[in-house]
Structure 1
Amino acid sequence: MQTLILRNQVKSHLLGQIQNGKLQVGRTINLALLSRQLGVSVTPIREALSQLEQSRVICAVPNRGFVVTQLSKKEAKNIYETVAQLEIMAVEGSQYTDSDIEALRRQQIRLQQSHTPLKRLEARFDFHHILVRNCANTVLLQILEDLKTRLLFYEQGYGNDASFYENVDNQNEAIIHAIAENNVPTAALILKMNWMVVLEYVEKQLTT
């Protein structure tokens, strides 16, 4: 259990470093330095790095170790389209109570009131977590979690642009309304549009 906690702490630290621009594309991750900085052994660090490699946030390069991977339009398109389809499956397989709907409304308010790019980005992903958390398919949810780790990497640094969230906010409200009306097909349609709006924006930021 302790190793699991340490691994998750290391993973969160590395994602924060990437999101803050302190770990840049192509840069090698120094395991020994990271161990000293965090005061943990190399074992949970290697486990965290292996998880991030599975999510394609980093990759192992012979004779160099783990490095932050380059972003590409092709990969972005593949991941966003896959996440959209998996979330639709999760929503279709979920039952929503009044408390779930209220939780989505509260989270949408938090998203709109977040004043820093990182907080707003985290709030957006938390909204999607609440949206699918009742799905009984744990394998589907694990795949979603891994893919969204990579999406966080794509979207970091884009949150300063207000247009990045304008359409997303409106669509989140529409998703909540559709779920409250027990109109899952409409919620699924808007959900797909939601991810495609973000994909279109991200693709414009990428050069390859």
Structure 2
Amino acid sequence: MPMLLGQVPRENIASRIYRSVKTELMTGRLRPGETITLRSLTEELGVSQTPVREALLQLASEKVLTVSPGRSLSVPVLTEAQLTELRDIRLELECLATRRAVPGVDAAARRRLAAIHEGLAAARRAEDREGVLRGNLDFHFTLYAASGMPHLVAMIENLWVQTAAYLSFLYVPPFPSLPGPHPHSGVLEALEKNDAAAAVRHVRRDILDHGELLMASLRRGGLI
């Protein structure tokens, strides 16, 4: 699948490749079990093998990619138990990030979050999977950045990137939806009121309810 990287500047090229592969995973462009070879990525990006190898080995060390026979790397295939474990860890960390973020979300940040959610809603109506996943990513990490806890945010990102490839199986037309208002709407309302407890409840619902939709979709497809 073509990468989104385009022409990569020479400076910090390994870190740019690293970030780009992570973005591919977090927006559903790479699927579980899909192979990424050093040769194919090198040819696609038009760069030398050294920075590509550095980026891929870093991702493998973080369990974002797994080393396959023949030294190629692939997107991990997870069991139901592993997906559940990662979801449960996400719940703890993301609720903490939300609670710490609420006091730091000013009016400008609220407007930014509202605009992101409007874009996500438009992508849902258009059944644009990548737009939905990118909007969801932007919403959550814009919120969590306000926590002022960069190490916590990095831990959350690592959990997301390990499971996000599975979301490509959830957002297949017709897109599923939760009953009632989207949890992000509840988060925005809670931020207006500076109500950290309410914001945490809505983030928790977002993770749990969308997680149940995902697991049901994976079971129907025989993927777990």
Scaled to the shorter chain, the TM-score interval is 0.7 to 0.9
- What code does the residue aligned with 1:136 have? G
- What code does the residue aligned with 1:126 have? D
Tell me if the contact between 2:187 and 2:199 (Cα under 8 Å) persists in the aligned partners.
yes
Other structure's SS at 2:176 match: helix
TM-score w.r.t. the length of structure 2 is: 0.80
Q: Within the alignment, does 1:192 sit opposite 2:174 as a pair?
A: no
Tell me if the contact between 1:57 and 1:149 (Cα under 8 Å) persists in the aligned partners.
yes
Q: Within 5 Å, give how 1:17-166 maps onto structure 2.
A: 19-20=28-29, 25=33, 27-61=34-68, 63-94=70-101, 95-114=104-123, 115=126, 116-166=128-178
TM-score w.r.t. the length of structure 1 is: 0.85
Q: Could you tell me how far apart the structure 2 residues matched to 1:41 and 1:59 are?
A: 22
Q: Within the alignment, does 1:16 sit opposite 2:28 as a pair?
A: no
Tell me if the contact between 1:90 and 1:140 (Cα under 8 Å) persists in the aligned partners.
yes
Shift of 1:46: 2.0
Q: Could you tell me how far apart the structure 1 residues matched to 2:108 and 2:197 are?
A: 21
Aligned residues: 206
Tell me if the contact between 1:29 and 1:67 (Cα under 8 Å) persists in the aligned partners.
yes
Q: Could you tell me how far apart the structure 1 residues matched to 2:170 and 2:56 are?
A: 24
RMSD between aligned alpha carbons? 2.6
Q: Within the alignment, does 1:4 sit opposite 2:4 as a pair?
A: no
Shift of 1:177: 0.3
**Closer/same/farther in 2, CA of residues 136 and 74 from structure 1, 3 Å limit:** same
Alignment gaps of 5+ in structure 2: 1-8
The farther-off stretch of 72-81 and 156-165 is: 156-165
Tell me if the contact between 2:28 and 2:166 (Cα under 8 Å) persists in the aligned partners.
no
Q: Identical aligned pairs, as a percentage?
A: 20
- What code does the residue aligned with 1:96 have? V
**Closer/same/farther in 2, CA of residues 14 and 170 from structure 1, 3 Å limit:** closer
The farther-off stretch of 108-117 and 52-61 is: 52-61
- What code does the residue aligned with 2:130 have? L
Q: Could you tell me how far apart the structure 2 residues matched to 1:143 and 1:134 are?
A: 15
Deviations 1:116-172 (A, max 9, x none): 111111111111011111122211111111111123212123212455344596211
Shift of 1:83: 1.6
Q: Could you tell me how far apart the structure 2 residues matched to 1:152 and 1:128 are?
A: 13
Tell me if the contact between 2:87 and 2:211 (Cα under 8 Å) persists in the aligned partners.
yes
Other structure's SS at 1:40 match: coil
Tell me if the contact between 1:84 and 1:192 (Cα under 8 Å) persists in the aligned partners.
yes
Deviations 1:55-100 (A, max 9, x none): 5332114544322221321111111221222111112222211111
Q: Could you tell me how far apart the structure 2 residues matched to 1:122 and 1:165 are?
A: 17
Shift of 1:2: 4.4
Alignment gaps of 5+ in structure 1: none
The farther-off stretch of 150-159 and 95-104 is: 150-159
Q: Could you tell me how far apart the structure 2 residues matched to 1:35 and 1:198 are?
A: 36
The farther-off stretch of 117-126 and 166-175 is: 166-175
